[in-house]
Structure 1
Amino acid sequence: MTGPSLAVAAVRVALRRALADVDGLVLVACSGGADSLALAEALAFERASEASRGSGPLTHRDDRTGPMRQRSEQRAGLVTIDHGLHADSAAVAARVVAQGRALGLDPVRCERAAVGRTGGPEGAARSARYAALERVAEQEGAVAVLLAHTLDDQAETVLLGLARGSGTRSLAGMPAVRGVFHRPLLGVPRDVVRAACALEPWEDPANADPAFTRTRVRHDVLPFLESRLGPGVAAALARTARAARDDADALDELAAASTPFRDGSAAVDDLGAARPALRRRWLRSAALAAGCPAGALTAGHVDALEALVLRWRGQGPVHLPGGASGARACGRLVLTPHR
């Protein structure tokens, strides 16, 4: 009997590892593209395989306590987001819903996302999409939402972070797990994931539109680097992301535990005496707390806030994305949200 192709096996193995400690309803976020359809197919296969191994809830050994514990019923569903950004978006969403049901996934949801303007077209659509996914997860009681970002997506994210010059955190790329969101395919190349897709995918025209920065990185920058530096650039960038994330996580934890900001303000003397790595993290966190969109806050904004501390010459307030501002007054740096 012939087994699955190498591509299908790679996606299934990556998903199986990611779900090893996930207990409960899992939703796959599916745009209809080849990457997310391949992940949906793998999720449907894994859940069907688990069900065929026993009629009741599965059990597994808890490494911390030793005895076998009962797992709740393993369910798998799908959610697609209709951004309403193009004329056929509703039809695309309806097709994805039909594909999810054909795979035996349940529940299958289509959620409409209201796309605003903050953070530019890409950032606004992303913010609306994640908000809609979190809403559906809460409504359905899902413990995880799977995202089909690949190794190549991770490499693109690192390059975009380099271009923004936003520091170590921007080089850390996308986390494998953050809150309810899980990215099981970050170690699998895009061409392998796409080869694992057996269903007919929808090709998002935005993925070929050079007006979008990520599209230019995908089709121009990465291929150019591969042609000049040799193969393996994407994998090397993904490894860089893992190393940078370890460092950034440690520094972020230290910064969060020692921040001098209280109610949006901090003493300039405390900020000036701190190590730069901590001070800049405090400033960035304070700006985010004041309502700055994370994707729009750059190193340049943090530099301007830092100048109020280290290079004070009576300059006026620093205007930040989202309408927030930072100003120095009475020996304190004050971050004010949009009013």
Structure 2
Amino acid sequence: MPLDPLLPETPAIHEVRLAVRAWLSAHDARKVCVALSGGADSAALTAAAVAEADEVHAIVVDHGLQEGSSGIAARAAEFAYARGCVAARVVAVEVTGPGGLEAAARAARYRALDDARGEMPVLLGHTLDDQAETVLLGLGRGSGLRSIRGMAPFDNPWGRPLLGVRRETTRRACDELGYRPYEDPHNADPRFTRVRLRTEALPLLEEILGGGVAAALARTAAQLRDDGDALDAAAADLLDRAAAPRDATGENGVDVTVLTDAPSAVRRRAVRLWLLARGASAPNDKSLRAIDDLVVRWHGQGPVAVGRGPRPGTRLVVLRRRGRLSTEFVDQQRCADD
């Protein structure tokens, strides 16, 4: 592709540029990376970023999941240079790990992006439609506010300037650029839950409710994110006040008395923050409620398991002793017996 960094003054491109401009200004970012797949969303984002930022580096992740993936990645890198990126790096990854193909590919992609970005934030091409799908997934899983508030515009180092832009707009932007975006066959594969939400559930909801569902879900996510941020700030303050001095064993605990009078939503968030700092990985709602029982419904119950220990057969548990919550690693059989 010949070098042509200038963008036409057309409606869809203008909308994408305004979204990127607003994000860069809000987060004082002038040098950025862009995760470029060659699809419409990331291609439109890349073109707009080059027009609005001082320096743009494209990172193209080749998942190797289909024949010809290296050629697809090379074409995406070619597009990045044609638009004016100062660099376009193709990174090949091996997709392995738990959680199925979709989760494993996502984990491999984010690792590769993080390794390649240097000190720069990485812009991702998630759109309003992706946000709506994320909210629906969270609702279906019953995983609470933290899930249904969707994706953040900036979750360092990940930036999402297009959360207010429709997917159809990025496609029109590519048309206006004269670029034919790559169509990933996985995005039409009904084996993936998100694809069925996109192609079946959301269109049905739009029909039943008379349109506007995706935008309404995205607005809901933004409102809940504001609420969640306020609750998280209150939880951090509560945890700071509840932090107990080290006991004779050297354990830094949490004062149950301070926790007891706090609203339950704030209390559970404070416990979650404490657990993450103690090495627990994403404690679930069941564990948090069991720990909450140690605080407000104490009747001498045993420890609550919240994660694996450093050695096989051990678990990280939370227990209540002498008016404080503390953590320790125990033998897994002991935890089961308790």
State how far apart, in whole Å, the 2-side matches of 1:136 and 1:338 are. Answer: 38
Equivalent residue, structure 2, for 1:326: 317
Please provide the CA RMSD for this pair.
Answer: 3.0
More displaced 10-residue stretch of structure 1: 177-186 or 238-247: 177-186
1:336 shift after superposition: 5.4
Equivalent residue, structure 2, for 1:220: 200
Where do 5+ consecutive residues of structure 2 fail to align? 1-6, 245-250, 332-338
Q: Deviations over 1:238-297 (max 9, x none)?
A: 111111111111111121122136777434444444320111112322343354554xx5
Task: Give the counterpart of 1:27 among 25, 33, 40.
Answer: 33
Structure 1 residues 17, 115: CA separation in 2 closer, same or farther (over 3 Å shift)?
A: same
Where do 5+ consecutive residues of structure 1 fail to align? 48-73
State how far apart, in whole Å, the 2-side matches of 1:324 and 1:103 are. Answer: 52
**Given that residues 305 and 326 in structure 1 are in contact (C-alpha distance below 8 angstroms), is that contact kept between their aligned partners in structure 2?**
no
The yes-or-no answer on 1:303 pairing with 2:289 is yes
Q: How does 1:76-91 map to 2 (within 5 A)?
A: 76-91=56-71
SS of aligned partner of 1:20: helix
Number of matched pairs = 307
Q: Aligned letter for 2:49?
A: L
1:311 shift after superposition: 4.6
State how far apart, in whole Å, the 1-side matches of 2:104 and 2:273 are. Answer: 20
Task: Give the counterpart of 1:191 among 168, 188, 192.
Answer: 168
**Given that residues 37 and 73 in structure 2 are in contact (C-alpha distance below 8 angstroms), is that contact kept between their aligned partners in structure 1?**
yes
The yes-or-no answer on 1:18 pairing with 2:2 is no
State how far apart, in whole Å, the 2-side matches of 1:39 and 1:103 are. Answer: 11
More displaced 10-residue stretch of structure 1: 320-329 or 151-160: 320-329
**Given that residues 148 and 184 in structure 1 are in contact (C-alpha distance below 8 angstroms), is that contact kept between their aligned partners in structure 2?**
yes
More displaced 10-residue stretch of structure 1: 195-204 or 314-323: 314-323
State how far apart, in whole Å, the 2-side matches of 1:182 and 1:338 are. Answer: 40
Relative contact order: is structure 1 or structure 2 higher (C-alpha 8 Å, sep ≥ 6)? 1
Equivalent residue, structure 2, for 1:37: 43
**Given that residues 164 and 298 in structure 1 are in contact (C-alpha distance below 8 angstroms), is that contact kept between their aligned partners in structure 2?**
no
Q: Aligned letter for 1:107?
A: A
Structure 1 residues 155, 336: CA separation in 2 closer, same or farther (over 3 Å shift)?
A: farther
Q: How does 1:72-111 map to 2 (within 5 A)?
A: 74-111=54-91
TM normalised by structure 2 equals 0.78
**Given that residues 128 and 215 in structure 2 are in contact (C-alpha distance below 8 angstroms), is that contact kept between their aligned partners in structure 1?**
yes
Structure 1 residues 292, 200: CA separation in 2 closer, same or farther (over 3 Å shift)?
A: farther
SS of aligned partner of 2:117: helix
- % identical aligned pairs: 44
**Given that residues 24 and 30 in structure 2 are in contact (C-alpha distance below 8 angstroms), is that contact kept between their aligned partners in structure 1?**
no
State how far apart, in whole Å, the 2-side matches of 1:83 and 1:203 are. Answer: 15
Structure 1 residues 121, 273: CA separation in 2 closer, same or farther (over 3 Å shift)?
A: farther
Q: How does 1:1-339 map to 2 (within 5 A)?
A: 4-20=9-25, 22-46=28-52, 74-113=54-93, 115-118=95-98, 120-138=100-118, 141-142=119-120, 144-197=121-174, 198-259=178-239, 260=242, 265-294=253-282, 297-311=283-297, 314-315=301-302, 317-320=304-307, 325-331=316-322, 332-335=324-327
TM normalised by structure 1 equals 0.78
State how far apart, in whole Å, the 2-side matches of 1:8 and 1:80 are. Answer: 22
Structure 1 residues 200, 231: CA separation in 2 closer, same or farther (over 3 Å shift)?
A: same
Structure 1 residues 325, 115: CA separation in 2 closer, same or farther (over 3 Å shift)?
A: farther
Q: Aligned letter for 1:283?
A: V
1:163 shift after superposition: 2.0
State how far apart, in whole Å, the 2-side matches of 1:267 and 1:103 are. Answer: 57
Q: Aligned letter for 2:189?
A: D
